[in-house]
């Protein structure tokens, strides 16, 4: 069972408008809401693929209750720690004419030390029965920057850490098996523009492997034994929100099989990520495209810009 951890889970509310025009008034033709947050998106993809998964997270207030209700309705196995502070809401504005996706996230709730201790205990217990532990997204307020490191330390199964900034840097000390920054996050935490050299820097700081998403260029893996670059068979336009989370689901699936072959990891991650771009909302993906793309992804050895 793959366990996903989403400390800053959110209620994702999507409004459909013909076109978003800053400064104008819009009437949304439709409103949908469902459980969100990066780890929840990972669990949603795994669940759709029929992979055993358990979504852990933190929820509070009315929006938090709606998150838990939605997971139950979707049939996703979940275990959420209930807190007093209200969960955050993320608003997605889908322009139906030009298909742009605009996001507004609320800052997360501020947790007490006791809240976090209860959540950490539930993560520790779930990790013992897991094949892979995936930690995703930002940390809520009131939680130290070392929180992911504390969750990951001592976990005996493969781990994936998908976060950014100080939480990513601090998390490296717990030696996660894989970290999955995107290009911006990679540059931000290392100050290095070349993705290959930046990934090597993260490995020196503690990451077992680095799988970096390079947007339309595909994904780069830097691990023991080499570096690989995987490219999707064609460029797609659509909703890139959740594409990184679909990639993480692919990484976790391969890690769950045992010692991964990195080209295979990349192939699955790129195929799921591309299929997610075709999904209407984060956590959705086009399963037919995923299956076709899985055989079409090109994987090569990667070389640095100054090799």
Residues lying near a second copy in the complex (CB under 8 A): 15, 17, 19-29, 31, 62, 91, 93, 95, 98, 100-107, 241
Per-residue tokens: 23: 């400064």
Least separation in angstroms between CB 19 and a second copy: 8
Taking the complex as a whole, the smallest distance from the CB of residue 108 to a second copy amounts, in Å, to 10
- Could you give the residue numbers annotated as active site? 245
Tokens of 200: 């090597």
The one-character DSSP state at 265 is H
Which is closer to a second copy, CB of 105 or CB of 146? 105
Q: Which helix (H) or strand (E) holds 272?
A: helix 262-277
User: What phi and psi values does residue 237 have, to the nearest 5 degrees?
Assistant: -110, 150
In this structure, the number of other CB atoms found within 10 A of the CB of residue 19 comes to 13
Query: Is 13 or 196 the residue whose CB approaches a second copy more closely?
Result: 13
Residue 177: left (phi > 0), alpha (psi -120 to 50), or beta?
A: alpha
C-alpha closest to that of 302 among 227, 193, 209: 227
User: Shortest distance, CB of residue 141 to a second copy, whole angstroms?
Assistant: 13
**CB of 33 or CB of 233, closer to a second copy:** 33
Minimum Å gap between C-beta 267 and a second copy is: 27
Residue 105 or 233 with smaller CB distance to a second copy: 105
186 contacts 165 by C-beta, under 8 angstroms: no
In terms of Cα–Cα distance, which of 302, 199, 237 is closest to 99? 237
Question: In terms of CB distance, is 91 or 146 closer to a second copy?
Answer: 91
In whole angstroms, the minimum distance from the beta carbon of 61 to a second copy comes to 9
Closest by Cα among 152, 196, 197 to 177: 152
């Amino acid at each position: 069972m793959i366990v996903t951890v989403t400390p800053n889970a959110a209620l994702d509310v999507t409004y459909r408008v013909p076109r978003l025009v800053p400064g104008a008034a819009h009437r949304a033709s439709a409103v949908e809401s469902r459980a969100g947050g990066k780890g929840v998106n990972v669990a949603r993809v795994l669940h759709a693929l029929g992979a055993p998964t358990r979504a852990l997270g933190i929820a509070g207030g009315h929006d938090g209750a709606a998150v838990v209700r939605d997971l139950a309705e979707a049939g996703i196995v979940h275990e959420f720690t209930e807190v007093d502070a209200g969960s955050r809401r993320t608003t997605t504005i889908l322009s139906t004419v030009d298909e742009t996706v605009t996001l507004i996230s609320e800052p997360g709730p501020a947790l007490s030390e006791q809240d976090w201790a209860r959540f950490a205990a539930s993560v520790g217990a779930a990790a013992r029965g897991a094949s892979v532990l995936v930690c995703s997204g930002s940390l809520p307020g009131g939680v130290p920057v070392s929180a992911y490191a504390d969750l990951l330390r001592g976990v005996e199964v493969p781990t994936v850490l998908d976060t950014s900034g100080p939480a990513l840097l601090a998390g490296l000390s717990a030696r996660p098996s894989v970290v999955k920054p995107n290009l911006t996050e990679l540059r931000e935490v290392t100050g290095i523009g070349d993705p290959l050299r930046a990934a090597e820097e993260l490995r020196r700081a503690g990451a077992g492997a680095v799988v970096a998403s390079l947007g339309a260029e595909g994904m780069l893996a830097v691990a023991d034994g080499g570096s690989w670059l995987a490219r999707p068979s064609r460029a797609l336009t659509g909703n890139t929100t959740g594409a990184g989370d679909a990639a993480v689901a692919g990484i976790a699936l391969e890690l769950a099989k045992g010692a991964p072959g990195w080209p295979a990891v990349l192939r699955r991650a790129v195929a799921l990520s591309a299929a997610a771009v075709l999904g209407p909302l984060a956590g959705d993906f086009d399963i037919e495209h995923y299956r076709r793309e899985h055989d079409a992804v090109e994987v090569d050895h990667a070389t640095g810009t100054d090799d």
